Amino acid sequence: MNRLERNERLVRLAFLAVAFSAVSVLAVITAFIFMEGTPIMFKYGFKSFLAGMDWYPSEKSFGLLPMIAGSLMVTLGALVIGVPLGLSCAVFLTEFSTKRTRRVVKPVIELLAGIPSVVYGFMGIVILVPFIRKTFGGPGLSVLAAAVILGIMILPTVISISIDSLLAVPATYREGSIAMGATRWQTTKMVLFPAARSGIVASIILGMGRAIGETMAVIMVAGNAVHIPGSILAPVRTLTSNIALEMGYASGEHREALFATGVILFVIIMILNTIANATSSRRKG
């Protein structure tokens, strides 16, 4: 083995070690969460956690159904708001705008991802919550407020990855479709979207992960009421908010129940990601 081959092998081993270190960190985090959270779930029963309506840790009542419903409602609302806006913006910048416009607008949109979530929450309290209260009624701190803020927060992720996916489609696809008489919109809808589907689905999955995992902004605008919201104008508490609000003073079984909340959140994210990936794969086939 000559020196060049040895160096190449060392480089390969170094990259392999880095890759395994990333996976091992994820494995350690996952194992820690499950080790801390599952014993209390076995003790009181999974049904009491998943279907219980009351969250009173001092009385050994650890029902998480209101927070599960709240997380799903807020995340769904964020996707309903953020995904159409994000995809529309991505299509405009790739197919209907000039290259100069895209070079200016795309970096500005990506800068939105660097804004701290507490700033989004502050803007929601100052602007959005009073607007909802005056326009639609209710306390203002609500599912709608959280969904709008999260919908804005996921825009950079959806737009940036969708733009890259659409630009990665070979130019011959566009040229062939237009040469056959299709309009730009018909080309985008019938040719580019199917070709870039995997990247677009990835952007939606990442946006969904950002929405369901966000904490600070949701705490500030959601109201944090522990009950299943009867409408989008009702206050709500999410799983992440529940952990952040109570972990600072929790102890004993209360602390274990918060780790169990993390376990359920982890499982929900894995289920949603699996469904999204399976749906994408089935459509490809």
Q: Identify whether the C-beta of residue 129 lies closer than 8 Å to the C-beta of residue 145.
A: yes
My answer on whether 23 and 102 are in the same domain is: no
Assign residue 270 the CATH number of its domain.
Answer: 1.10.3720.10
Residue 226's region, left for phi above 0, alpha for psi from -120 to 50, else beta, is: beta
Tell me what pLDDT residue 133 has: 93
My answer on whether 26 and 82 are in the same domain is: no
Domain boundaries, position 267: 64-284
Helices 65-91, 197-213: crossing angle, 10 deg rounding: 140
My answer on whether 23 and 138 are in the same domain is: no
Phi, psi of 122 (to 5 degrees): -65, -45
What percent of the chain stands above pLDDT 90?
29
Q: CA separation (Å) from 61 to 68, 115, 146?
A: 16, 37, 27
Burial of 14 by CB count in 10 Å (0-12 exposed, 13-18 middle, 19+ buried)?
exposed
CA distance 119 to 42: 39
Give a yes or no: residue 133 inside a domain: yes
User: What's the number of domains the chain is made of?
Assistant: 2
Tell me what pLDDT residue 280 has: 60
Tell me what pLDDT residue 185 has: 84
My answer on whether 152 and 270 are in the same domain is: yes
Report pTM: 0.85
Rg (CA), the chain: 23
**Average pLDDT for residues 236-247, to the nearest whole number?**
90
My answer on whether 142 and 14 are in the same domain is: no
